[in-house]
Amino acid sequence: MIDAYRQGYQEFNAELMRESYLYNSGQKMELEIAPIYERYAHLFDSEAVSRLKGILEKTPEHFAGQRASIKHFLVFAVNQLLDSSVKSLTEEISRDEAAAATGWRGRKMTFQDSAVAISTEAVRASRDQIYNWRLSIIAASNDLRVERIEKLHQAASLIGGPLPEGSPDSPRTGRTGQSPELDRDISDSRPDRGRGQGSSSSYSALYKNLYQLDLDSIASQCESLLARTESVYVARLDEALRSDLGISVDEATRPDGMYLMHLPRYDGRFPPDRIMTAYHGTMEGLGIRTEYQSNILIDDEPRPHKSPRAFCAPIRVPEEVRLVIRPFGGHADYISFLHEAGHAQHYGWTAAGLPSEFKYTGDSALTETYAFLFNHLPSDPVWLETFLGFAGAGDFIKSSILTRLFTVRRYAGKFIFELGLHSGTAHGDAGRAYSEVLSEATGFKTGEAEYLFDMDDAFYSAGYLRAWAFEVVLRDYLITRFGKLWWTNTRAGTFLKELWETGDRYTADEIASQIGIGPINFDLLTDDFLKALA
């Protein structure tokens, strides 16, 4: 069964990724994924999940590789099964968003455009106006989102714990065609914190089991990061708000945050025509000649319907990886392109001979770590001077690290909220819980309306958080071994390629342990922020 399953799995992922690439790069006007899902539905129906479960139970512990394969398939099948249980609601919600448009300064502004418009709008009253329109669109679909979450919780309770208790080796999350942009034991027999919310608590129980992650411990690490960085964060944020926006932290709201964190003041330092040179040069320093990488195809053609955000589409790993950009310039554009370039190199260097379940399904924290490693280079003074001629960038670097702390604190808040929502502890008044946690974590007053919009399924937020924590340690390791300018050292490149070769076979914690720097915790990440922003 496994060989046939693998074949179908490989084809499904490649087809889904190709369709997503064509649509998001503006070469296809309609995203036609429903027929792909229908054709491969047998890979992720409840029968497939129970068959995989049965095979895993019969596979002896010493067949570690085979058990890892089946677990990766299980993660894939469970995630897809949950996705497809709410497919029509997901489609309905995104149709509503895609259709929404309003007039703004004599032009049509779509729902997608509105986020960029807020983050680049210097006039506060205008930001508020766009933001309120955006919230009205989100609020109009919130009943559907409530229904969708309830359905997901019901579907999760039907699946139950897919992995047998106490198994040591573990896979993680499944990649889907969407570009976005998750430690341990299920034998953790703590009583559930839910108050009789049977099905929502089983959603978090399902993921604790499936990812073999101690989500409660991640939540307490988030609490500690928030507490330890609170005073320095609020102090630096207040200074930035007073100098850039002329307001204090007590007055600041979410749209102010979206604008401030875009760092518009530095846009001129990051011209669109230098982005490719910076990418090629950075990789060349590591001994990677991007011009000879025929498997990583860069798509930088301008097309009217191309996604404004850079993305990476690993269609056939490692033979056909697409790195897509529509360069606008600006700090945010550089960061998002270098982030996606990190994903592209990871999948482009993955060993061709690996079984395909280790190419498309894994611990999201691992690939996100490689992506963060590159998207953090524009806060390195030497990198800025080398590729952008930006000398004396001290103030910019502090601002850029403040935006990173903002994002990490925001995700810590999001994760704490999501765990509550999916464990039944936040039920009933989830909107208020969201507003309180996010306002507190970010320092920007955040309303209730976005509480279900501002959320990815399957605890993806935990993957980002673990990746931020792992990236700091991995970067520190690279500096210790290869020098402060590790990104100019071909030996560092050789080391990274060896990690990338293993694709998604291991979890971020396993890779961290293999190089002797694990397990991942949030202490060094916290210290790093405290040091940089003191």
- 3-state SS class at 315: strand
Q: Closer to Zn ion by CB, 208 or 309: give it.
A: 309
Q: How many residues bind Zn ion, per CB under 5 A?
A: 2
Per CB under 5 A, does 371 bind Zn ion? yes
Is residue 206 a contact partner of residue 156, using CB atoms and an 8 Å limit?
yes
Beta-carbon contacts of 466 under 8 Å, excluding residues fewer than 6 positions away, are: 182, 218, 365, 508, 509, 520
The 10 Å CB-count burial string (b at 16+, else e) for 157-172 is bebeebbeeebeebbb
Per CB under 5 A, does 437 bind Zn ion? no
Nearest to 375 by CA among 331, 312, 325: 331
CB of 439 to Zn ion, least distance (A): 26
Beta-carbon contacts of 20 under 8 Å, excluding residues fewer than 6 positions away, are: 31, 33, 177, 178, 179, 313
CB of 179 to Zn ion, least distance (A): 8
Q: Closer to Zn ion by CB, 371 or 458: give it.
A: 371
Three-state SS string over 22-48 comes to HHHCCCCCCCCCHHHHHHCHHHCCHHH
**Token couple for 179:** 């570009």
CB of 279 to Zn ion, least distance (A): 16
In the window 112-151, what residues touch Zn ion (CB under 5 A)?
none
Is residue 71 a contact partner of residue 56, using CB atoms and an 8 Å limit?
yes
Beta-carbon contacts of 174 under 8 Å, excluding residues fewer than 6 positions away, are: 75, 76, 79, 80, 360, 361, 458
CB of 217 to Zn ion, least distance (A): 23
CB of 173 to Zn ion, least distance (A): 12
Q: Closer to Zn ion by CB, 67 or 376: give it.
A: 376
CB of 311 to Zn ion, least distance (A): 9
Q: Closer to Zn ion by CB, 468 or 482: give it.
A: 468
Q: What percent helix, strand, coil does the chain show, rounded to 5?
A: 65, 5, 30
Nearest to 403 by CA among 379, 381, 387, 385: 379
CB of 370 to Zn ion, least distance (A): 9
CB of 457 to Zn ion, least distance (A): 16
Query: Rounded to 5 degrees, what are φ and ψ at 296?
Result: -110, 100
Q: Closer to Zn ion by CB, 15 or 340: give it.
A: 340
Q: Closer to Zn ion by CB, 256 or 368: give it.
A: 368
In the window 293-322, what residues touch Zn ion (CB under 5 A)?
none
Per CB under 5 A, does 68 bind Zn ion? no
Nearest to 525 by CA among 123, 188, 224: 224
CB of 371 to Zn ion, least distance (A): 4
Q: Closer to Zn ion by CB, 373 or 401: give it.
A: 373
Distance CA 484, CA 476 (A): 9
Per-residue binding letters, 329-368, with Zn ion (x by CB under 5 A): ---------------------------------------x
Is residue 145 a contact partner of residue 180, using CB atoms and an 8 Å limit?
no
Q: Closer to Zn ion by CB, 371 or 426: give it.
A: 371
Q: Closer to Zn ion by CB, 206 or 373: give it.
A: 373
Q: Closer to Zn ion by CB, 183 or 368: give it.
A: 368
In a 13 Å sphere around the CA of 352, the CA atoms on its Cβ side amount to 3
With CB atoms as reference, the residue minimizing the distance to Zn ion is: 371
CB of 340 to Zn ion, least distance (A): 7
Contact residues for Zn ion, defined by CB under 5 A? 368, 371
